[in-house]
């Protein structure tokens, strides 16, 4: 079935924002042919500390959130036409969202063999505003909203900014919907924050989307960090917070397939960070700023900082397959990658305590291992570091073994893979970042 031709129009029909004693409830209506989707978002009253909320601006924030949230349903057909019936966009806004959709769905298009140029991808139809919308804000924005997902990167951010503890709030996505995903909250508590310093944004999906996935409609990766960025802006506004701080490293800029722009981590890249900050400043709230604290570092440097805090080893999680059981599945690229990056710093016994077994001694992971190390292979579609960092960590680990027998994957590597890298990547510094000076100083001193 040629889904794109059969369903050529995707419609953002309407949205509604309601405030009540329990918090804020927003609902959205999307249409794809005969199919209607009605997802919703909820923010509990405990995550709202602003007592001068302006309804017109709150509606504008949720309108914008509704556009990026639509990507989860738009992807079902990759319709050539995206029609917005419930709000206005100027030409620059349309271009911003088109670029985000195109690059954010690059992996999905590749894996579903949908090959198209940017100019052929989609058109966004929405009324042009007669004049630019103007919103006015007080100057009382301050403090930090730190997104926490449960992995090592946000832990490094939490530890680096401990000196600003009284200014910090932590952002959790879907804590109430998926309470079994305990890693983020465990990290937050271990960093010394109680629930009074936690903000939550709950997003429910329309299960009809899952039914269509089973019927052959397109399915795959969406730019979750892009959705999160808009959600964080809403939370920041509701709490008078100045800085939204994410934990995306320089390594996120590297794509998955040589010679293409396809990047599983596009919405974690500096390109997206820069685009979103500009969009935020021009169309949302110029008092709120979005940046990644770790953008100046590579993944290996982040791991170097993370291992200084071994108390997190029992609670941190990065495995998508194990998120519902708060565990490492120990069979995926993410698990093998994290294992490799930790291996130079911990002995096998300690690593087995975390992951359940020695992943570098598991030949069934050989193909994943090859994809992680070889620049000419397709890099696994996961949030993993660069080949340079991975090979650097492997070579350090092999050196640590000395004359001891190597586990199977390392033994194969030492005999068959001739990766040349004489560069010490621990001295790396990426100048392409938006980190304010006091925050950069706190990170580098960690």
Q: Residue 1: is its pLDDT beyond 60?
A: no
Rg (CA), the chain: 22
First to last CA, the chain: 54
Polymer length of the chain: 446
Coil vs helix vs strand at 370: helix
Identify the residue with better confidence: 275 or 133: 275
pLDDT for residue 175: 67
Mean pLDDT on 139-161: 96
pLDDT for residue 176: 62
Q: Residue 339: is its pLDDT beyond 90?
A: yes
User: What single-letter DSSP state applies at residue 106?
Assistant: H
Given pLDDT bands bounded at 50, 70 and 90, which one contains residue 322? confident
Q: Residue 423: is its pLDDT beyond 80?
A: no
Given pLDDT bands bounded at 50, 70 and 90, which one contains residue 135? confident
* Rounded-to-integer distance, Cα 241 and Cα 221, Å: 30
The structure tokens listed for 421 are 């890298």
Asked if 171 and 146 count as a contact pair (C-beta separation under 8 A), the reply is yes
Asked if 408 and 336 count as a contact pair (C-beta separation under 8 A), the reply is no
pLDDT for residue 244: 98
> What's the pTM value of the predicted model, to 2 decimals?
0.95
Mean pLDDT on 129-133: 87
* Rounded-to-integer distance, Cα 221 and Cα 270, Å: 19
Q: What angle do CA 167, 169, 176 make, to 5 degrees?
A: 165
């Amino acid at each position: 079935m040629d889904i794109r031709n059969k369903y050529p129009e995707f419609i953002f029909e309407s949205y509604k924002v309601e405030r009540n004693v329990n918090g804020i409830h927003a609902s959205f209506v999307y249409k794809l042919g005969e199919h209607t989707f009605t997802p919703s978002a909820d923010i509990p009253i405990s995550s709202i500390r602003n007592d001068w909320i302006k309804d017109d601006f709150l509606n504008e924030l949720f309108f914008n959130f509704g556009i990026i949230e639509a990507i989860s349903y738009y992807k079902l057909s990759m319709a050539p036409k995206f029609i917005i019936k419930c709000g206005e966009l100027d030409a620059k806004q349309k271009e911003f969202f088109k670029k985000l959709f195109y690059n954010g769905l690059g992996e999905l298009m590749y894996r579903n063999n949908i090959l198209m140029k940017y100019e052929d991808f989609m058109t966004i139809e929405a009324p042009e505003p007669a004049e630019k919308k103007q919103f006015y804000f007080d100057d009382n924005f301050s403090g930090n909203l730190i997104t926490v997902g449960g992995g090592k990167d946000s832990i490094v951010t939490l530890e680096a900014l401990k000196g600003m503890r009284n200014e910090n709030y932590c952002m959790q996505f879907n804590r109430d919907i998926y309470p079994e995903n305990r890693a983020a909250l465990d990290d937050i508590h271990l960093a010394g924050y109680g629930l009074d310093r936690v903000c939550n944004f709950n997003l429910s999906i329309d299960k009809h989307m899952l039914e269509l996935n089973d019927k052959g409609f397109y399915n795959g990766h969406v730019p979750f960090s892009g959705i999160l960025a808009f959600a964080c802006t809403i939370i920041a506004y509701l709490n008078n917070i100045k800085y939204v701080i994410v934990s995306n490293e320089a390594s996120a800029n590297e794509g998955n397939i040589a010679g293409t722009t396809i990047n599983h981590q596009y919405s974690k890249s500096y390109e997206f960070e820069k685009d979103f900050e500009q969009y935020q400043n021009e169309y949302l709230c110029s008092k709120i700023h979005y940046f990644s604290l770790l953008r100046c570092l590579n993944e290996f440097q982040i791991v170097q900082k993370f291992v200084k805090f071994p108390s997190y080893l029992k609670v941190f999680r990065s495995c998508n397959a194990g998120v519902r059981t708060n565990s490492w599945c120990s069979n995926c690229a993410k698990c093998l990658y994290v294992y490799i990056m930790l291996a130079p710093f911990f002995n096998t016994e300690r690593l087995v305590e975390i992951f359940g077994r020695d992943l570098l001694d598991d030949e069934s992971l050989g193909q994943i291992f090859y994809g992680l190390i070889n620049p000419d292979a397709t890099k696994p579609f996961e949030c993993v570091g660069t080949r340079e960092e991975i090979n650097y960590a492997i070579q350090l680990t092999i050196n640590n073994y000395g004359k001891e027998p190597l586990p199977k994957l390392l033994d194969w590597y030492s005999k068959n893979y001739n990766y040349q890298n004489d560069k010490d990547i621990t001295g790396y510094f990426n100048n392409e970042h938006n980190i304010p000076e006091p925050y950069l100083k706190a990170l580098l001193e960690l």
